[in-house]
């Protein structure tokens, strides 16, 4: 059982775009007003002569020749960050622009994501810089992305909301440059998983033409893989702006209010106030978090699910081994038999990554119930 639960924790940690802490920090000091409001914009910066000179570009030719030349320049001179462990900040532009569009521009990328004299990046960085260069040369461009996300196809991906503190510390630099004061807990609740792939397109002779320099690096062909399946969308930057939600999360943090309302001593609350509909769980409790993203954003409490397989499905753990289901069901049944209380396995699977001392608080924050941590640990390590 020890090995099983440890493996669960490891697998839940594997999703590239997610790392969350479920235990809110205590507010420190008096509430502080937000210095300024965030103004959303496109991360495709308008490159100047200085930017183009910095890149060493001096291109000429027809629109079609220019479009191809910019792609070839990226193919030949950029480093595609295939091993993300070697480039821990490479996903920052794609992540941060997904809830604060414009916070990390293409101009930032060409100056900040550089190693050994070469710009590095993944699909998003390639796309927005391509568009900035192409627009400088008078071409009409647009950014496209998949509709699908990594967790839709990666069986090792689980819940998709959140941000590790190490990433937040990098984002904080950008926030402070703009006079924005968003604490970690506010940002953690706003950060979400992004689409799985981005690419640039150029309008040539009235038709949109894909220009995706990452295809050569990874052997992934956007047209065949995505357009034929309908997995594509035109990006609307303004619609991604979550600064209003961040303002609200920050206000709650500054006034010492939890993202989730406190529960009564006699059990989890029956519904979530406000307009959030959510789902009705296996106890008949309405207004519970409809999916793992809503749960991790604090929109509603975790649902009670009596079936372990349903709990794994809820956290997007695809095709769990049968032994995981069996052991998860054992935890539910034995804990409830011994205590008379319901075990919220969804909350437990999320909180099991916490140190033993933090599991109980994390569990309570997610579902509103208290966990008998000693009994849980006995069942976890004692097995059946």
pLDDT at 365: 86
pLDDT at 199: 94
In Å, how far are 130, 145, 208 from 223, measured between CA atoms? 18, 12, 12
pLDDT at 67: 98
CA-closest candidate to residue 312, choices 321, 300, 303, 320 = 320
Q: Which helix (H) or strand (E) holds 172?
A: helix 165-177
pLDDT at 180: 93
Instruction: Give the whole-angstrom CA distance, residue 59 versus residue 65.
Output: 9
Residues of the chain with pLDDT under 70: 1-35, 151-161, 220-224, 257-275, 297, 318, 353-357, 383-384
Structure tokens at 170: 């990098």
Q: Does the model's pTM come out above 0.75?
A: no
Domains of the chain, each with CATH number or no CATH:
2-28+260-382 (no CATH), 49-149+194-240 (3.10.620)
- The string of pLDDT tens digits covering residues 174-209 is 999 999 999 988 898 888 888 889 999 999 999 999
pLDDT at 298: 74
Contact residues for 347 (Cβ-Cβ < 8 A; gap 6+): 302, 362, 363, 366, 367
pLDDT at 263: 38
């Amino acid at each position: 059982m020890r090995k099983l639960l440890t493996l669960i924790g490891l697998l839940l940690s594997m999703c590239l775009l997610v790392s969350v802490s479920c235990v809110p920090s205590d507010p420190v000091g008096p509430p502080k007003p937000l210095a300024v409001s965030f103004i959303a914009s496109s991360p495709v910066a308008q490159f100047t002569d200085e930017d183009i000179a910095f890149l060493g570009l001096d291109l000429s030719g027809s629109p079609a020749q220019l479009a191809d030349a910019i792609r070839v320049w990226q193919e030949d001179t950029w480093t595609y960050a295939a091993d993300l462990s070697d480039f821990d900040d490479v996903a920052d532009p794609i992540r941060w622009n997904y809830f604060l569009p414009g916070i990390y521009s293409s101009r930032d990328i060409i100056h900040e994501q550089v190693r050994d004299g070469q710009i590095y990046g993944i699909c998003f960085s390639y796309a927005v810089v391509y568009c900035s260069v192409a627009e400088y040369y008078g071409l009409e461009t647009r950014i496209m992305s998949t509709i699908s996300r990594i967790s839709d196809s990666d069986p090792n991906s689980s819940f998709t909301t959140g941000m590790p503190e190490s990433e937040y510390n990098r984002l904080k630099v950008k926030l402070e440059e703009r006079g924005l004061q968003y604490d970690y807990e506010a940002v953690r609740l706003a950060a979400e998983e992004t689409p799985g792939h981005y690419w640039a397109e150029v309008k040539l002779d009235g038709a949109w033409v894909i220009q995706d320099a990452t295809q050569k690096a990874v052997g992934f062909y956007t047209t065949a893989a995505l357009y034929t399946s309908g997995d594509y969308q035109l990006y609307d930057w303004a619609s991604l702006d979550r600064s209003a939600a961040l303002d609200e999360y920050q206000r709650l943090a500054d006034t010492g209010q939890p993202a989730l309302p406190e529960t009564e001593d006699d059990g989890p609350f029956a519904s979530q106030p406000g307009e959030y509909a959510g789902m009705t769980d296996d106890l008949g409790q309405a207004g519970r978090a409809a999916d793992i993203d809503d749960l991790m954003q604090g929109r509603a409490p975790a649902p009670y699910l009596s079936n372990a397989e349903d709990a794994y499905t809820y956290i997007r753990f695809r095709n769990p081994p049968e032994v995981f289901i069996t052991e998860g069901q054992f935890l539910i049944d034995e804990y409830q038999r011994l205590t008379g209380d319901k075990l919220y396995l969804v909350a437990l699977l999320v909180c099991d990554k916490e140190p033993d001392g933090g599991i109980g608080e994390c569990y309570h924050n997610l579902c509103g119930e208290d966990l008998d941590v000693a009994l849980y640990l006995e069942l976890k390590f004692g097995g059946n």
